[in-house]
Every structure is written in C-alpha cells, then in structure tokens.
Amino acid sequence: MIHSTRSARSVQALPILFEDSDLLVIDKPSGIVVNNSDTTKGETTIQSLVSDKVEAPKEGVENEFTQRCGIVHRLDKETSGVLIIAKNKESFENLQAQFKERKVNKEYISLTHGAGGGGDKCSCRKASLE
C-alpha cells in the first residue's frame, strides 16, 4: 500500500479492487491528488497513473471523458477511499449519470483525535449518503 510519504510511479503500485474491460476500481491512498491541474504540475496524480488503462481518444476528439481520463468522481488529496475509473466513454457517461441521479450509495468514515473536549480521545463516525 502507498502511504502519503511515498509517491506512486505506476498504476500497478495502487491497490486495484476490481478491473474489467469497462472499469478500474482502485483503493486511493491519502496523499495523492486525483486530477491533473495547473497546481499539480510535477506531482504524480491518479489521472496520470491510469492514463494507459483507459481507451485512447480518437485523434482530434476532445470530450469530458478524455479530459478527465475516465475519472468519474474525485476524492480530496488527503482522503483515502474507493475511486471508480471508466475505461471507455460509454462507461464514463453511464457512471456519471448514476452519480448525478444519486443512484450511488456513498459511505464516509471519519476518524478524529483529541476532539470532543477533554483528554486524548479518538472518535470514529460513519455517514451514509444516498
């Protein structure tokens, strides 16, 4: 597993939870940015790591699938969790529609240390969004 003190150099360094001809599902570790941007130049991003796993764009064709390299949703840099990547435009559009229509169930678990006033206590909270 990758920790925030190390940077991944290839998609093989990421924990792959599921893969078929349409999808790549990874366990994104904290400390890695998901999307390329002007502020991430020189940083390894999930987008750059998975670029060879998604369908190559047709020459001269630029669309959201190719711009995002199949990444359907994002997780913040310091957030770890499951990240879904579409390998082709059809899967990308289908998954985006499911997220937009709120058909995807998301669960979040947060861990805090020292919160809640008094002592060094840890607490864990789970939230589910449907």
Residue 1: Cβ within 10 Å count: 9
- How far is it, in rounded angstroms, from Cα 78 to Cα 32? 7
DSSP secondary structure code for residue 29 in this structure: P
What is the spatial distance between Cα 1 and Cα 31, in angstroms, rounded to a whole number?
A: 12
Sort 32 into a burial class: Cβ within 10 Å, 0-12 / 13-18 / 19+: buried
The one catalytic residue among 20, 27, 38, 76:
76
Q: Annotated catalytic, 120?
A: no
Tell the burial category of 105 from Cβ atoms under 10 Å away from its Cβ (0-12, 13-18, 19+). exposed
Residue numbers annotated as active site = 76
